[in-house]
Chains A and B, each alone.
Chain A
Amino acid sequence: MSINTKIVDDLVANDISFVTTVPCKQLAGVIDEIDARAGVMHVPSNKEDEGMGLCAGAWMGGKRPAIIMQNTAIGVTINTLATLIQYYRMPLPMLISYRGELREPVACQVEMAVHTKALLAQMNIPTYHFHHQSDADELDAILKYTFMCNKPVAILTDANFWGGYGDQ
């Protein structure tokens, strides 16, 4: 089974039926897999804070949501995480492409990578870092944990997890 199929199987097994995404090369296969599942509504968003608003509404409407984004979006969404998702106590799994880590070819990506975990820690957001594909074995438990505690939870997936990025 491909890692993309395994990830989306776990989302579906945890009743996640509303996913918003911003595009990402590393997560493109997951996004394609989501589009292939009839039971998952996929609504692409133009910016990650907009996507979190959609997820908040979808959850209040009875659908379990998830957002797929890059770690640069942490810089965009701090206010939304604090004043909407956390303040109203809403669950939100964030499947994040962790750009700027080992095997990253683009230097500028490192500039947000070095802040990513510190910002998540400052926000008291439970954070899991997938570096090897076997780390994804915990995804099912992480999703259950997210909907148990009604918190945003970050799942950082780096280039090594995805088998490298480009020629690196």
Chain B
Amino acid sequence: MIRSDILKDIAPILRDQLVVCNIGLPSQEMHLIDDQPTNFYMLGTMGLSSSIGFGLALAQDKKVISIDGDGSVLTNFGTLPTIANNVADNFILLIVDNGSYGSTGDQPTYAGKKTSLAAVARACGCENVVEVQAEDTGKALQDALDGDKMTIIVAKCESGNIKVPVITMDPVVIRDRFMKSVQA
């Protein structure tokens, strides 16, 4: 399974949740698969999906899922100690780990080599870290939603991309409809 297969699989679970989607193809794929006002699409700013989602989770009570990538977490490693030390039990970080920088042409990441993001998250102090194979992502996500405990999910999948159009929605529109969903 590649990332878009995982996103297709979990789209029904994500539908009613606040979701922060990572820059590039992950956002474009979510937009294509199941565009929802509860999706915040990142159009730029690599690395900050976890930070945006975590800030949102700290500021209000609804559950928040940040969909991140291995490359993006490597870009913003400092996020993991911050998350670990300021626990928000309404926050789920889903790292789709395909071992590559998918949006830029599948160059390999260190997470696909020696570096284990699950081990790094645990070393940073995150207490509830699960690593799953791609096909088990939906179950892990549902368990995390049902569990009411801050959870880091590392979903291992294959590298690869589908053809998707870019998101042409205005960023202020994305943000405005997302904020209305947060308040609803």
Interface residues of A (CB under 8 A from B): 18, 41, 43-47, 49-63, 65, 79-80, 82-84, 87-90
Contacts and interface: CB of A to CB of B under 8 A. Distances in A.
Contacts of A44: 82
Query: Which one of B43, B55, B60, B81 has the greatest number of beta carbons of chain A within 10 Å?
Result: B55
A166 B61 CA distance: 44
Is the interface on chain B under 10, 10 to 19, 20 to 34, or 35 or more residues? 20 to 34
Interface string B116-128: 0000000000000
Given A57-B20, A79-B45, A43 B58 contact: yes
B175 A54 contact: no
A79 B171 CA distance: 15
Given A45-B51, A49-B48, 16 more contacts: A46-B79, A50-B47, A53-B45, A53-B47, A57-B58, A57-B59, A58-B56, A60-B55, A60-B175, A61-B60, A62-B59, A65-B55, A79-B45, A83-B44, A87-B171, A90-B175
B52 interface: yes
B184 interface: no
A55 B172 contact: no
B86 interface: yes
A50 B78 contact: yes
Nearest to A87: B171
Interface in B102-157: none
A57 B82 contact: no
Interface in B26-77: 40, 42-45, 47-48, 50-60, 64, 76
B52 A45 contact: no
